[in-house]
């Protein structure tokens, strides 16, 4: 699927022709200098890595289809059959600090590639070196201070990290649905720490693009970093038993996490959500930071079929700054997906365009939204359901179409502050049905398509301030509840509409 990002007015419809000042997507992503600035700032103790990089020995392994010059300089030459044997022999021969360098070409691999401690397996570029797995194995980090870099993997494989101190740079994977995830960090009865993915891509993978998971006790992943990574079309063609839940980046599945950074990453066209954390009550999620990430056109199995289908699903312990969502079921979804409560969420300067629901918080407390924007939501720009102790500061609600407060309700609203019943959402099961309480909401709304812009049902001890550009006598509706103060909301009664602010909108060709 072709994609281009364009600086256009907020009212421009998706699919329109690009303006002359269109900004190519590469200009909206991190530059190489920014990538490595983030990488270096996020790294902690480097003493072990200094030892890992101190060696000077390089052993060259040539592909069977490499040119004669490359083969002449190689210590090992592959014949195109079971090429993992030559690669693994080279890895075994390395001293600490050494590198196995793969020439340009294709390596037909039918087993694991497992470097020893303080060693590197490096290709000649992800556009030059291809590891083709026929059905068994994959690169494995089972020793500390291991680096994989600069190659592409296709076929049936996963890249597994099951040990501390791993770096994976410039690796692209296009693999089938027979493994759980393409890039897979696994904490089984241990702590796995200091794992770094930089410039990695999971493209057209049958299952999860980037996955963290674990089992036993402990099952903790800590200090894991994703910088300028991409997950595109993951799970779109996955029909195995857990296929319907495939996401681009699954930061928490069955693991605990304390310390994760997702910086400048991109998710597009994935089966469920672009970025996702499971929120079960037994999982500990702390210190997860998203910054400058983009998530568009997810919920690929159908928005009506997705429980999440979000640009970002973040249940607890997460901070999101300057992140962008476009055309998802939910732009930014705070949900545990079960009876679990959500909490400790901060969103700053985050924007959603054209999702069904821009920002949704269901069943939780102690969270903050600052300077966030919903543009052109197909249903509702913000939904707060069964929530308490929330602070929504300077929220911009622009162009939301509106949707019934409840299934069959005559009240259509652009912003819903009320419980969600099972009839409203087939996935709800009653677990998100409850009022908003003990919260402060500051919201500025304009260009919305419904007579009611803000609706509060059964709210308690809630203060709402801001402005609403609407001539409707029902622009703010309060149904039931107690101690709901909307006196701080100024209705502009059809005052001049502000000019749309140029924003980044994906255009699909």
Domain boundary among 102, 130, 158: 158
Torsion of CA 288, 293, 299, 300, to 10 degrees: -130
Specify whether 203 is located in the same domain as 132.
no
Q: Where are the beta strands (DSSP E) in 292-435?
A: 294-296, 310-313, 316-321, 324-326, 330-334, 342-348, 351-353, 357-370, 373-375, 380-398, 403-404, 412-417
397 lies in some domain = yes
CA distance 21 to 177: 40
Counting the structural domains of the chain, the total is 3
- Note the pLDDT of residue 2: 35
- Alpha carbons within 13 angstroms on the beta-carbon side of residue 371 total 6
pLDDT, averaged across the chain: 91
Specify whether 201 is located in the same domain as 153.
no
387 lies in some domain = yes
Of 227, 356, 211, 354, nearest to 290 by C-alpha is: 227
Of 328, 363, 327, 321, nearest to 342 by C-alpha is: 363
Domain carrying residue 191: 176-333
Q: Where are the beta strands (DSSP E) in 78-235?
A: 99-102, 105-109, 119-122, 129-133, 140-141, 146-155, 159-161, 166-175, 181-198, 201-203, 208-227, 230-232
Specify whether 401 is located in the same domain as 329.
no
Specify whether 193 is located in the same domain as 322.
yes
- Note the pLDDT of residue 241: 56
**196 Cβ neighbours under 8 A, 6+ residues apart:** 39, 42, 43, 166, 167, 168, 169, 224, 225, 227
465 lies in some domain = yes
Specify whether 204 is located in the same domain as 76.
no
- Note the pLDDT of residue 55: 80
Specify whether 121 is located in the same domain as 182.
no
Name beta bridge partners: 141: 161
* More confident site: 495 or 124: 124
Instruction: Report whether pLDDT(128) > 60.
Output: yes
The pLDDT > 90 percentage for the chain reads 83
Q: What is the pLDDT of residues 38-82, one digit of tens each?
A: 999 999 877 789 888 888 899 999 999 999 999 999 999 999 999
Specify whether 327 is located in the same domain as 474.
no
User: Strand 503-508 to strand 3-8: parallel, antiparallel, or no bridges (unpaired)?
Assistant: antiparallel
Backbone phi and psi for residue 183, each to the nearest 5 degrees, phi listed first: -100, 115
Specify whether 212 is located in the same domain as 326.
yes
38 lies in some domain = no
Specify whether 10 is located in the same domain as 111.
no
Specify whether 326 is located in the same domain as 419.
no
Instruction: Report whether pLDDT(503) > 70.
Output: no
Domain boundary among 97, 128, 158: 158
- Note the pLDDT of residue 178: 85
391 lies in some domain = yes
Instruction: Report whether pLDDT(323) > 80.
Output: yes
Question: Measured in whole angstroms, how far is the alpha carbon of residue 29 from the centre of its chain?
Answer: 15
Q: What is the pLDDT of residues 400-430, one digit of tens each?
A: 999 999 999 999 999 999 999 999 999 998 8
Specify whether 369 is located in the same domain as 469.
yes
* More confident site: 81 or 508: 81
Q: What is the pLDDT of residues 261-301, one digit of tens each?
A: 999 999 999 999 999 999 999 999 999 999 999 999 999 99
338 lies in some domain = no
* More confident site: 3 or 194: 194
> Sorting pLDDT into bands at 50, 70 and 90, what band is 136?
confident
Instruction: Report whether pLDDT(473) > 90.
Output: yes
167 lies in some domain = no
Domain boundary among 95, 127, 158: 158
> Sorting pLDDT into bands at 50, 70 and 90, what band is 240?
low
Q: What's the predicted TM-score (pTM) here?
A: 0.92
Specify whether 279 is located in the same domain as 320.
yes
Average pLDDT over residues 372-387: 98
Q: Give the DSSP letter string of 324-349.
A: EEES-SEEEEE--SSS--EEEEEEES
DSSP conformational letter for 243 = G
140 lies in some domain = yes
| CATH number of the structural domain spanning residue 184 | 2.160.20.10
Instruction: Report whether pLDDT(20) > 90.
Output: no
The H helix count followed by the E strand count for the chain is 5, 38
């Amino acid at each position: 699927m072709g994609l281009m990002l364009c600086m256009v007015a907020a009212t421009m419809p998706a699919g329109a022709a690009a303006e002359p000042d269109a900004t190519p997507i590469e200009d909206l992503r991190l530059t190489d200098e920014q990538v490595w600035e983030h990488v270096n700032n996020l790294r902690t103790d480097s003493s072990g890595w200094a030892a890992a990089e101190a060696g000077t020995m390089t052993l060259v392994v040539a592909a069977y289809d490499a040119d004669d010059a490359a083969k002449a300089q190689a210590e090992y030459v592959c014949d195109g059959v079971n090429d993992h044997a030559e690669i693994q022999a080279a890895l075994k021969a390395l001293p600490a600090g050494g590198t196995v360098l793969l020439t340009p070409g294709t390596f037909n691999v039918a087993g694991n590639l497992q470097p020893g401690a303080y060693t590197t397996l490096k290709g000649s570029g992800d556009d030059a070196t291809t590891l083709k797995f026929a059905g068994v194995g994959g690169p494995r980090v089972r020793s500390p201070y291991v680096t994989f870099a600069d190659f592409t993997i296709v076929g049936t494989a996963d890249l597994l990290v099951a040990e501390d101190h791993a770096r994976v740079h410039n690796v692209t994977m296009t693999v089938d649905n027979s493994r759980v995830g393409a890039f897979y960090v696994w904490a089984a009865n241990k702590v796995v720490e200091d794992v770094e993915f930089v410039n990695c891509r999971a493209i057209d993978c049958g299952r999860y693009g980037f996955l963290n998971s674990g089992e036993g006790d402990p099952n903790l992943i800590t200090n894991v970093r994703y910088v300028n990574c991409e997950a595109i079309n993951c799970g779109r063609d996955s029909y195995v038993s857990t296929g319907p839940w495939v996401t681009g980046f699954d930061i928490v599945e069955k693991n605990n996490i304390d310390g994760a950074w997702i910086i400048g990453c991109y998710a597009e066209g994935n089966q469920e959500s672009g970025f996702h954390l499971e929120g079960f009550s037994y999982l500990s999620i702390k210190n997860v930071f998203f910054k400058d990430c983009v998530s568009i056109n997810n919920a690929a199995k159908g928005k009506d079929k997705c429980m999440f289908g979000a640009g970002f699903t973040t249940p607890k312990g997460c901070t999101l700054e300057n992140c962008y969502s476009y055309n998802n079921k939910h732009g930014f979804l705070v949900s545990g997906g079960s009876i679990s409560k959500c909490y400790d969420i901060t969103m700053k300067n985050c924007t959603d365009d054209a999702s069904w629901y821009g920002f949704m918080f269901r069943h939780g407390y102690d969270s903050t939204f600052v300077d966030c924007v919903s543009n052109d939501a197909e249903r509702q720009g913000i939904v707060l359901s069964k929530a308490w102790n929330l602070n929504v500061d300077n929220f911009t609600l622009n162009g939301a179409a509106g949707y019934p407060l409840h299934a069959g309700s005559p009240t259509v609203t652009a912003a819903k502050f009320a419980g969600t019943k099972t009839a409203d959402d087939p996935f709800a099961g009653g677990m998100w049905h409850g009022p908003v309480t003990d919260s402060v909401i500051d919201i500025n709304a304009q260009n919305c398509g419904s007579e009611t812009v803000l609706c509060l049902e059964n709210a308690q001890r809630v203060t709402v301030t801001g402005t609403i550009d609407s001539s409707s006598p029902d622009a703010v509706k309060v149904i039931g509840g107690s101690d709901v103060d909307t006196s701080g909301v100024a209705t502009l009664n059809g005052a001049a509409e502000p000019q749309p602010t140029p924003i980044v909108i994906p255009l699909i060709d």
